[in-house]
Amino acid sequence: MSYVDSGSGEVILSIHGIFGGYDQAYDTCSDFSEKYRILAPSRFGYLGSDTMGSGTPKEQAKAYVELLDALGIPQVYVLATSAGGSVAIRLALDYPERIRGLILFCSAMPPAERPVKYIKYAGPPKFICNDYGMFLISPLFKSIMGMESSLINSMLPISKKRTGVVLDASVTNLDMIREFAKTP
């Protein structure tokens, strides 16, 4: 698992969103780095982090606890963005004693009722999950997703994040629906 560990004080575990990595996770919290220790790992399949098992949020949460144990960190504040929210929620549910607080930023929430059916893939189509494809559609980011086209600069190179993007679209983003019955 690749990560940034910077600063001192109470720890903020920053869990990045889709097309991210330790860089995006750190940037999310960098304004707090003078007062807090920022721990910003790459999630499974992103920038230097391998995938354990099937790459489920439950497995990712376990990997974060193993990282905290290895670094001797008993508790953290968790800040999660976008697709990282499913992992953060799973971390808080499975390891509540490790969490001092949870902040979800632009993250999905579990559904209010058990869904009758769900989609099988919730993310960008695989054929555009490459540097060229995303660069070509970046002028449409504003009209499609409400994001500036300059966001492409923080997403590239997608080739080093593609495994994580596809994992998010096929596993992470659907976890709260698929695991609805198992979520308290």
The arithmetic mean of pLDDT across residues 113-138, rounded, is: 88
Strands 3-6 and 37-41: antiparallel
For the whole model, what pTM was predicted?
0.91
- CB neighbours of 132 closer than 8 A, spacing ≥ 6? none
CA nearest neighbour of 39 among 58, 15, 55: 15
Give 55-94 pLDDT, tens digit per residue: 999 999 999 999 999 999 999 999 999 999 999 999 999 9
Helix (H) or strand (E) holding 6: strand 3-6
Give per-residue pLDDT as tens, 127-147. Answer: 989 999 999 999 999 998 788
171 residue type, one letter: V
Q: Is 36 left (phi over 0), alpha (psi -120 to 50) or beta?
A: beta
- Report pLDDT for 116: 83
